[in-house]
Structure 1
Amino acid sequence: MPGMLSPTKTRTALRTSARASLDLLLVLLLAAVTLWLLGKAWSIVWPLVIALLLTTLTWPPTRFLRNHGWKPALAASLVTVVFLLLGIGVIVLIAVPVASESPKLATGVADGIQRLREWVAGPPLNIDDSQVTNALNSVTTRIKDSAGTIATTAVTGVSTVVNGVVTLVLALFLMFFFLKDGPRFLPWLTRQLPGRFATDVPVVAARSWATLGAFVRSQAFVGLLDAVFIGIGLWIVGVPLVLPLAVLTFVAAFVPIVGALFAGFVAVLIALVSNGFTDALIVLAIIVVVQQLEGNVFQPMVQSRGLGLHAAVVLLAVTLGGSLAGIVGSLLAVPVAAVIGVVWTYVRDQLTDPDPEPIPDVVEQAEQQS
């Protein structure tokens, strides 16, 4: 009867769907186990990741020195020391302006709170000053009642800072060894792996390293351009803490989309507190113009080949990374997505059948012979 389902085709389709679902469940289970193992070993994975990111930045000068006759250990040592001195110099340049401007910022915050109280007391809100005072007293009481929690949070914060310092020191040592012995890693890996893995894994690793290096270096260059232009704009307007805000802009550039919004918000907020509403609007306009130049001019020029990721994929990756692991997840989201894209492209190329040879046109050949 026409229109009836074929039992044989239905069973075949169900069997194929069940097999594909089982394969997908196994892949998801393997991914979950991998993430669980990474979480358990995060104390060593995180310094390793930081060391890899730092190595992508410091490898070009190291390679330059090695190509000009420097011993690997000597070149790696010099680059590591210079990088460490630059990091310490940046911290000092940030700490000194922040310490000198902190009284002015505190006064600006107090003035801003006073202006806010005057604004809410007038139309259209017409909130009585006693109500504002009661609200502030209520907040103060809650803070006093939460003294134990605040103390625990402070201790946790100190512990986090100590762990961060230990992680950074370990990452610097790992960076030194990567700079010194990095070129010998892929040949060693090839000798350790059996069969097909001896070819596939080193190729994927080399491509992933190239993609990661291109991403980090291009983001660093684009972030530097943003920091310079926004810093000049803040200096012209007369906003305090120009250098720390420029450094924040540079660091935030490594978190695509979200980082630029955060750095811009902080700059506008400080301009509002210290200089007033008009200068804050000017700073906002400067940041919008620079971000437009970055998105439409700087990045297309610097990232000529790009990462092969659509802007929507980048935004979703940053959002997912931030929801799963906070700031760390946002920082690593795009590099991880780019590496996954490299792996997927390689697997797809290996599983794709080559294009068939074109069949010669017999009639055309006969006409040419005649």
Structure 2
Amino acid sequence: MQGYQKLDKIVVRYILLVAALTLAIFNYKLIFAWVGKLWMVMTPIIAGFVIAYILNILMVQFERILWPHKKQGYWQKSRRPLAITLSLLTILLVMLFVIGLVVPQVYNVATEAIKAFPVFISHVEKWTHQLERLLPDNSNPVMSRFEIDWSTMLSNFKSWTNDFLSGFVNTTLSTVGSLASIIVNGVLALIFSLYLLMSKEKLIDQFLHVLTTYVSKKRSRKILYVLTTLDEAFTNFLTGEVIEASILGVMVTLGMWLFRFPYAGMIGVLTGVFALIPMLGAYISGILGMVLISVHSISQAFWFLLFIIILQQFEGNVVYPRIVGSSLGLPGMWVLFAITIGGGLLGIPGMLLGVPIASALYRIVKRDILERDGYSYSQRQAFLRHAPDDSFQQIAKDEAKSINP
């Protein structure tokens, strides 16, 4: 009888699941609209969680330095606010350093481009007149078969240019109009992140209390393991990416100074910033740098692109695997897979989120496989600590020798 009741519950669950999926499929437009509105409302809160998570990495490091042995009194109470302040100042100084290097040189590039623009237009006009003289007349019996009206093509080109400029102006105005909303959401997100950091331990205790109250002990352990694995993956990814991006930015700057490329400081900083996007960021910054250098010299832009390609090969094969790859424990094929899927779904944020999520899933699935194969806890930990290319059999043999020499 109990077996039938259990079977009936399972059937009811599946029926409800199918019904819910059917309703979702037939009302997907309404669901997407509702999710979009919810996302707009939740944007400051989500951004606050992200800011708090990033600040927490720095805050923990500062708390280890600021009189860590003081457990009570004034020093213990002032440790957290001071650590948060130092974390904010660190990020602010980095942002000011980047802006101070990039903005003046971008202004110089824009000034040079504006000065060169009339010359460029005159060259285009001369080229157009030369083209009109070189192009055959439609009265030619051979060319008349193609029915090409060159004057119409030139007028279409001019109208397309005017449409592009008007669209650019409208886009700029709309961007300026939404700037106030971005500032308000940013301030709200920062305030919310500070509340999260100040009451971090209390919030964690409340979450654990709710989890253990409504979820069984076995499932609570699994949920906590998944959350801990995700936290380790994101922390290792962010730390490794920042170190790797800093190294790449320094290498680009020194190389550009060595080969006497223009805008070395600005492009080096941009390379370091874009390098936070796994694998693709350096190429994006390379193309952007080539465009900026082309304002100064086309030939130097070509040699710069060649320099970036060679440097990226060294960085991708030597620096990245040692710093980021070793901390994530994720094979290169899955890194590329995570970037492709994440970028296709969410763009640049998806590229940033895809790699640590894939690393956590890879680690969780690998541990589950080892558990199902019957390996001991110590053997699983030994395997998970090693690189994916290491042989598990050799690790197990070494561990057996250490237990029974």
TM-score (norm 1): 0.71
Aligned to 1:81: 89
User: Matched residues in 2 for 1:170 and 1:185: separation?
Assistant: 19
Kept in 2: contact 1:47–1:167 (CA 8 A)? no
Q: Which residue is 1:221 aligned to?
A: 243
Amino acid at match of 1:80: L
**Which residue type is aligned with residue 286 of structure 1?**
F
Deviation at 1:228, TM superposition (A): 1.1
Match of 2:315, as an amino acid?
Answer: E
Quick one: structure 1 residues 135 and 343, their matched pair in 2 at CA, closer, same or farther if it must change by over 3 Å? same
Q: Is the 8 A contact 1:237 1:279 kept in 2?
A: no
CA 1:323–1:286 in structure 2 vs 1: closer, same or farther (change >3 Å)?
A: same
Structure 1 residue 328: deviation in Å?
Answer: 2.7
What value does the CA root-mean-square deviation take over the aligned residues?
4.0
Matches of 2:122 and 2:301 in 1, distance apart? 18
| Alignment of 1:297 onto 2:318 | yes
| Distance in 1 separating the partners of 2:281 and 2:177 | 25
Q: Which residue of 2 aligns with 1:208?
A: 230
**Alpha-carbon separation, structure 2, partners of 1:57 and 1:120:** 58
Please give the residue correspondences for 1:1-370 in structure 2 after superposition, counting only pairs within 5 Å. Answer: 40-41=38-39, 42-43=42-43, 44-56=45-57, 59-65=60-66, 67=68, 69=70, 71-108=79-116, 134=155, 136-143=157-164, 147=166, 153-182=171-200, 185-194=203-212, 195-196=216-217, 197-276=219-298, 278-303=299-324, 305-345=326-366, 352=372, 354-355=374-375
Give ranges in structure 1 of 5+ residues lacking alignment. Answer: 1-18, 357-370
> What residue in structure 2 maps to residue 360 of structure 1?
none
Greater RCO (Cα-Cα under 8 Å, separation 6 or more): 1
1:62 Cα deviation (Å)? 4.1
Q: Return the alpha-carbon distance in structure 2 between the equivalents of residues 110 and 238 of structure 1.
A: 28
**Percent of aligned pairs sharing the same letter:** 25
Unaligned runs of 5+ in 2: 1-10, 137-149, 377-405
**Aligned-partner Cα distance in 2 for 1:111–1:333:** 46
Q: Measured at CA, do residues 223 and 38 of structure 1 come closer, stay the same or move farther in structure 2, by a change above 3 Å?
A: farther
Cα-to-partner distance string for 1:70-126 (whole Å, 9 max, x where unaligned): 522222223223322432343233222222332113335665666677778889xx6
Distance of 1:341 and 1:235 partners within structure 2: 41
Aligned to 1:8: none
Match of 2:395 in 1: none
* Offset from partner CA, 1:193-234 (integer Å, 9 cap, x none): 123243232332222111111101111111111111112233
Q: What SS does structure 2 have at the residue aligned with 1:303?
A: helix
Cα displacement string for residues 339-364 of structure 1 (whole angstroms, at most 9, x for unaligned residues)? 443454455566x25249xxxxxxxx
The structure-2 alpha-carbon separation of the partners of 1:209 and 1:74, relative to structure 1 and needing over 3 Å to count, comes to same
| 335-344 vs 74-83, which moves further | 335-344
Using the alignment, how far apart are the partners of 2:334 and 2:128 within structure 1? 42
Matched position secondary structure for 1:254: coil
> In the alignment, residue 191 of structure 1 is paired with which amino acid?
H
**C-alpha contact (below 8 Å) 1:62/1:79 kept by paired residues:** no
Corresponding residue SS for 1:291: helix
Q: What is the letter of the counterpart of residue 65 of structure 2?
A: F
**Alpha-carbon distance, 1:165 to partner:** 3.1
